[in-house]
Amino acid sequence: MLTIEAKAPVLGATVTGIDLRRPVPQAAAEALRAAIARHSVLHLPGQAVDDAAQVAFSELFGPLETTRAGADGAGSKLIVLSNVGPDGGIVPPTDRQVLNNRANQSWHHDSSFKPVPARLSILSAREIPSAGGNTEFASMRAAFAALEPAELARLRGLSAQHDFAWSRRRVDPALVTEAEAAANPPVRQPVVRAENPHGAALYLGAHARIIEGWDEAESRALIERLVGFATQARFVYSHRWSPGDVLVWDNRAVMHRATPFAATGERRRMVRTTVAG
Ligand code: OGA
Ligand code: MN
């Protein structure tokens, strides 16, 4: 029987009584959709998913994004976040895979740099390190609700420019080619997303560069203050991965980031599918 149990006050629920290798009944799929809207992050332990099962499960929630050029898995429905190279060994710290993983250590919403940003991400643990390499989530609904009413009203009218090339080049100038920068021009997103029936959410993260109509210094001050506010411990859930874990999260309700691990000594391999907006 499908069971959904809240994990933490502001976000997260554990889902048991489901096997992602088998077709999910209509009623269970409905319950999962409702639980995502309510809890923002679902943890499905003990799943032995392979790529095909992960894609089939993810498609329950809508069409999937095709992985962008420059990411591991480009052109497919899978994005591989791994420090393991094609020969099966750990890649050197200068490798693009490692730099991409380092970029994921900044708080972000997946694909916020696309004109229509990602709705859900589904991430499965294939190999995990003995320590570190957690994935952390910050509730942007809880953070928004905790702001002063006057600030809340002011933020509702603002838009931010999300700029992929800018954010990745802050991590490492070599992380984005000119062609990739040209394929991902800056896009405008609302600072507050109001579509969730359980409450509006802040929407910022690593790609948010400036507030439309504001200068750079004022923009950075506001974005960094709000990201700092939203990532206080009271709004955050840190997921320590176990073998067989699958997480589903709502990119329009949470930011997330990876925590560091010993990337030159231990293997970490995660596979993501992404439900488009
Ligand atoms: C992602 C991501 C963080 C991690 O899959 O989108 O940011 O912990 N992952 O690997
Ligand atoms: Mn991500």
83 lines ligand 1 (CB under 6 A): no
111 lines ligand 1 (CB under 6 A): no
In this structure, are strands 187-190 and 201-202 parallel, antiparallel, or unpaired?
Answer: unpaired
Domain boundaries, the chain: 3-275
If you average pLDDT over residues 205-212, what whole number do you get?
A: 98
Ligand 1: nearest atom to the Cα of 272:
5
Query: Which residues share a beta bridge with 236?
Result: 138
Q: pTM of whole model > 0.85?
A: yes
Q: Ligand 1 centroid vs 249 CA: distance in angstroms? A: 11
For residue 205, what are the CA distances in angstroms to 131, 231, 240, 256, 274?
25, 11, 22, 9, 17
- pLDDT tens string 245-273: 999 999 999 999 999 999 889 999 999 99
97 lines ligand 1 (CB under 6 A): no
250 lines ligand 1 (CB under 6 A): no
Residue 163: per-residue pLDDT: 98
Ligand 2 being an ion, which residues bring their Cβ within 5 A of it?
Answer: 110
247 lines ligand 1 (CB under 6 A): no
Q: Which residues of 158-191 are buried (b: 16+ CB within 10 A; e: fewer)?
A: ebbbbbbbbbbeebeeebbeeebbeebebbebbb
Superfamily (CATH) of domain 3-275: Clavaminate synthase-like (3.60.130.10)
Run of H or E including 82: strand 79-82
- pLDDT tens string 7-38: 988 999 999 999 999 999 999 999 999 999 99
